[in-house]
Amino acid sequence: MKIVKTIQEVRNEVKSWRKEGLTVGLVPTMGYLHEGHKSLIDRAVSECDRVVVSDFVNPMQFGPTEDLASYPRDIDADAKLCEAAGANLIFHPEPEEMYKDGFCSFVDMTGLTNALCGLSRPVHFRGVCTVVSKLFNIVQPDKAYFGEKDAQQLAVVKRMVKDLNMPLEIVGCPIIREADGLAKSSRNTYLSEEGRKQAVILSKSIFLGKKMVEDGERDPEKVKKAMRDLIETQPMAKIDYVEIVDNTTMQSIEKIEGEILCAIAVKIGDEARLIDNFILKI
């Protein structure tokens, strides 16, 4: 497995695979890889002849007061995980390689991004859409793999690919959880011992909401209230949002029907802002 830092090296590698008629999968990541990322790489390896993992903490998707500087990084550990999982290439560029002097072109979206994380992180999805488009143009994969933990990101990327006629398939992969239910995230490393204990309230509230809907509750307000009440039992937990939306449009719904996304974002003290969700088809 190779690690390369330039766009030209990626292009050369992919070109040689294409000459052999091989298919290519891309797993876009910001590094500090965990079991969740590994599940994406495993899926890509099982479906594609060659797999590229991009490992790039994208400055453009962080707001000015967010955690760009402290975001965890460990390329050596990432390389080991990728190698063991059977990836063929890691693309690990410097920000200057991705955003050359004078960079001023962006991919942006309306509608889907004016909800959930898009409200509390106003520049986030513009940064995600821009970097993901660039990665698609650089690698030109047949398929790209994204986690369902970032459910809004997955919906946004699917919409962008459809709207802009990008010639690849987007594959969503299930959330991977710790033994106690907490969704795996690179940001879990920010948690203190006490914060980690209290953070399990996210998945507990997700499991509660899911059970209520599975048991027949169709009023989103009742489900959201029960989830909020449960989250608020933890003194460190500060709710950013608890929402139930249509899983394609990301807009609020008055009755639970069709394919719904129930998504939450919760701050644990000043340690970390974590997200979790469930998707159900009624």
Residues that bind ligand PAF (CB under 6 A): 28-30, 58, 61, 128, 131-132, 150, 153
Closest to ligand PAF by CB, 146 vs 278, is: 146
Closest to ligand PAF by CB, 62 vs 278, is: 62
Q: Give buried/exposed letters for 141-173 (b at 16+ CB in 10 A, else e).
A: bbbbbbbbbbbbbbbbbbbbbeeeebebebbbb
Q: How far is the CB of 160 from ligand PAF (least distance, A)?
A: 12
Give the span between the Cα atoms of 149 and 46, in whole angstroms. Answer: 21
Closest to ligand PAF by CB, 58 vs 205, is: 58
DSSP string, 59-104: GGGS-TTSSTTTS---HHHHHHHHHHHT--EEE---HHHHS-TT--
Give the Cβ contact number of residue 278 at 10 Å.
21
Q: How far is the CB of 1 from ligand PAF (least distance, A)?
A: 19
Encoding tokens for residue 227? Answer: 């989830």
Closest to ligand PAF by CB, 59 vs 269, is: 59
Closest to ligand PAF by CB, 58 vs 203, is: 58
Would you call 37 a catalytic residue per the annotation? yes
Q: How far is the CB of 38 from ligand PAF (least distance, A)?
A: 14
Integer angstrom CA distances of residue 276 from 185, 187, 203, 209, 266: 10, 12, 7, 12, 9
Q: How far is the CB of 76 from ligand PAF (least distance, A)?
A: 19
How is the chain split among helix, strand and coil, in percent rounded to 5? 40, 20, 35
Q: 100-104: which pairs have CB atoms within 8 A and are 24 or more residues apart?
A: none
Q: How far is the CB of 134 from ligand PAF (least distance, A)?
A: 10
Catalytic residues: 37
